Amino acid sequence: MELNLGNEIAVSTNFIKSYPAVPICEGEDVQALIYHIEIGYNGKGGLETKQYIIIDYKEYKLSNARREQFIEIAKKYCKNKNIMNEKSLEITLLDNEEAENFLEEVFSNMKVIKGLITQGR
């Protein structure tokens, strides 16, 4: 079967924000990073937002107990940032190297873009 391009689909986002990465440490050793992305879009009732909390950890494999520790720390981060809406919040562990590289590139590009916008003012 041959792949073909389909028709374009309109995607409407009002804003995309990335927040500074926050390390999760054990003593002085960084065990993981929390990436936080917020996306605003036009929903049924007007502007809606979706919060993505992504945990990028350095261990190759995690035990279930360690996974739960990281999730609990991410929940603590959300509480500190007043992110309480369960419906618009997604917390996930980043356990795919290709996705990790892509996400790090997105954050690096967003830093460059923010810097250019700031310099232009």
Q: At 33, which CATH number?
A: 3.30.300
Q: Does residue 116 fall inside a structural domain?
A: yes
- pLDDT for 23-56, tens place per residue? 999 999 999 989 898 888 887 778 888 899 999 8
State the total domains in the chain: 1
- pLDDT for 51-106, tens place per residue? 999 998 887 788 999 999 999 999 999 999 998 877 889 898 887 666 667 777 77
pTM beyond cutoff 0.75: no
Q: What is the mean pLDDT of residues 111-116?
A: 58
Q: Strand, helix or coil at 67?
A: helix
Scanning the structure block, which residue is given the tokens 């309480």?
Answer: 84
Q: Does residue 19 fall inside a structural domain?
A: yes
Q: Assess contact for 48 and 88: CB atoms under 8 A.
A: yes
d(CA 49, CA 42): 9
Q: Does residue 46 fall inside a structural domain?
A: yes
Q: Does residue 8 fall inside a structural domain?
A: no
| Residue 5 pLDDT exceeds 90 | no
Q: Does residue 82 fall inside a structural domain?
A: yes
Count of alpha carbons within 13 angstroms of residue 92, beta-carbon side: 11
- pLDDT for 27 equals 92
Q: Does residue 2 fall inside a structural domain?
A: no
Q: Does residue 93 fall inside a structural domain?
A: yes
- pLDDT for 73 equals 95
Q: Does residue 4 fall inside a structural domain?
A: no
Which range marks the domain in which residue 71 is found? 13-120
